[in-house]
Amino acid sequence: MRTLKRGERERFSIEIPADFDLPPKTQWGYTPALWQHNFDSETVGNILTGTEIAPRVTLHHDAESVDMRIAPVENSAALSFDIREFSGGFLSLAFGFPESDAKAIQRHDLIRIAIQSEAAEQFKAYARLNLKHGPNNEQIVRMIDIGQDGFAEFDIFYTEFEPTRASDAWIDLIINEPQGKSFTLKQVVILRRVRATL
């Protein structure tokens, strides 16, 4: 764990790789534990929607039949995905926030997902932030490239999000028309930082 300090009274826990370049005014961050995958070596075949592949990382799709392979990359914290046959239109990975972090989000915050990835052929995906507050679910969608290092950032200020009613938050990484796509997630980091004052 890496810890960021601000003054003597405030202290924020930053669970990210030690060499990660933190943006200014970062309040907290964490790295979804892809290396703590829920299988011994690899999982192959018709993987059901709703399958938790790692702590707070869940796979979703709309396909009736699937032939795909998910496997750890030797000597690394990465996971590789090879979608061979896919009868549906989308596949997504949902990265859930720790409960305490979800409830700490404020209207003046920026949420960022930074991804290091490799792909047989680079493609675009969608990153969708979901903020559950009371019975409502606020969503913000951004585009992100898979096959290179990049990030997507979400500005909470322009939403109807009510922090006092916050109960959950997660980011969906959505891949449309996934059949035939092969990619590796080397690192995923999620951060919250304070937006500049207007």
pLDDT of res. 198: 54
Over residues 30-41, the mean pLDDT reads 87
Tell me how far apart the alpha carbons of residues 56 and 62 are, in angstroms, rounded to a whole number.
20
Q: Maximum Cα–Cα distance for the chain, whole Å?
A: 56
DSSP H or E segment with residue 182? strand 182-194
Give the mean model confidence (pLDDT) for residues 43-65: 93
Domain count, the chain: 1
Q: Distance (Å, rounded) from C-alpha 93 to C-alpha 176?
A: 12
- Report the chain's mean pLDDT, rounded to a whole number: 89
The residue range of the domain holding 47 is: 2-194
pLDDT for 197 equals 63
Task: Give pTM, 2 decimals.
Answer: 0.90
Look at 1-5, 32-36, 65-69, 129-133 and tell me which has the smallest mean pLDDT: 1-5
Over residues 89-120, the pLDDT tens digits come to 999 999 999 998 999 999 999 999 999 999 99
Does residue 11 register a pLDDT over 60?
Answer: no
Q: What is the pLDDT of residues 166-190, one digit of tens each?
A: 999 999 999 999 999 999 999 999 9
Q: Enumerate the H helices of 48-151 as residue ranges.
A: 99-102
Instruction: Specify the CATH number for the domain of residue 157.
Output: 2.60.120.260
Task: Give me the long-range contacts of 49-54 (CB less than 8 A, separation at least 24).
Answer: 53/79, 53/93, 54/79
Q: What percent of the chain lies above the pLDDT cut of 70?
A: 92
Distance CA 198, CA 190 (A): 24
Q: Is the pLDDT of residue 126 over 70?
A: yes
